[in-house]
Structure 1
């Protein structure tokens, strides 16, 4: 019997209630819209959620009166008097429920000024208790529906790249290629790009998070493209690096650096399995790159969790010894080498942690490729 979206949402709600009880809270106030969407199925841009042991309430405004009923049947909707009326509706809701005294809130997503206003406007007797990460922990492990949506986001991004790959040639600018790639993702089914696409060419490819500009592709360039699509609320994140020119234009250094990064990635992916920690996976790739003489040129973490946001939680880094891999986690693996004044490259795959290892979800070829000049 297949699991429906409503089944999955019910499982999440039950898990959150257990987490709330473990924190000895009477209720949890959700204000982060990404977490609200994950818990409710609601796709609107503005809402508050209130979860107790017995009730689940979603406060939004008239813009979403129809949508909230259609998308979030597990939550009782309350329609506030405009987006500015949310706190008033929350105040009324809590006043009618005097048993709620210890109200957890998402401290990582609330500003000081918001907190001050809540303290001022909430009913007497209600105390705000920091309760960070309760939903984020649930988001780390994806169910079958989430995995399917991520696969679709990957398919959309990969198809888009293949449709514009012919533009990776001399005379095209970084900005032009990025625009064509972004449009292709939307045309292929993405609601939006998962992040600002990175197109970094020549010496500018030494910048890991370069913003595309007017530089024109030239023979002899490495071009690093880092892009992703958001489909049904889930993101993909892929990086490929190509060489512009013929085989005769490729230098031994280009091949050496590329081989170093690709080998490091394959070694790390082969080691991914439940029970491993993020630090040890990072170290496999990092140590290999260092052994080849490029350790200082790999200046970022090996990867991160992927889901409703591009950086959906912890990942593979030198500080991730407490991050333990579990089946259902979706991770990026993206080693890189960046040499100032020369250029750089990164190769990135999206992988799903399975019961006995992992599955690479991305499928674009990642061998060294020279696109004839």
Structure 2
């Protein structure tokens, strides 16, 4: 997968920007606050129609403007791909090759995997961050996973509303059983997908960790569902644990078991990385996991996703940076943003200088 052209109008601090990328490796360099991260964000926006940095959609619109537009033209093994997204405070509209479609239909057409210096939190931070990454990669690979994820979230939201009302107003909740059925159905699908996916992610992440760290350490990622489960009886186990958690749910006013509480534990030399790994080891682990996810997309759909690096290299020693550079040499296309050119691996880049929302080709 390659992005050949990017056009922005009123996206973050950019007015009208039109960039072309004839080569596979692209470097955005410039002072902090100039817009490098915003450019990477716009590329990822073409993939999933939302910001990977969080926040509200309307915050993407340049201050003082009422709308934005992002257009990306690229190519895959299946031909030309053109994604257009128009956003106002009232609506979001998406087109793929001039045909309008929904967000769920967009996901997977232009896969992008973003990495940033904040990714250390995917190792030492909350389980939500690890689940979010796994959900993204699986959604690229399996449209049925993304459909089940959306359905599960809807059922969970409705079920939690009933539980919250029951706690707040001391109401009965006879209607919760219908949402139980949907939670079990779609949640079991997610668990089944995750069980098979985790071992493959661990395999590749371990290989990347060994390649980047080069210190003979043993990395492992393990799926930790919120309740004990066997693949042959996921639905029954889920239903049983929902029944057993009724009193706790009533006290807390929320659903306490299910894939929204899962984790993906990372261990180094058989020790919990959140507690016993150094910052350098944690950063290497998070980078390895993201690169492994990108490779799984390649294995699953036959094409490499576009990979973004936002100040990733500034936080690692030069040896690890060079090893990452060698590891990503096989990727179809990468975009790297940095304020410190000296930290970047020795690759053949097209360089773009970014400052105050303006971009020019750098010599």
**TM-score normalized by the length of structure 2:** 0.26
Q: Which has the higher helix share?
A: 2
**Which structure would you say has the larger RCO, counting Cα contacts within 8 Å and 6 or more residues apart?**
2
**TM-score, normalised by the number of residues in structure 1:** 0.26
Larger radius of gyration: 1
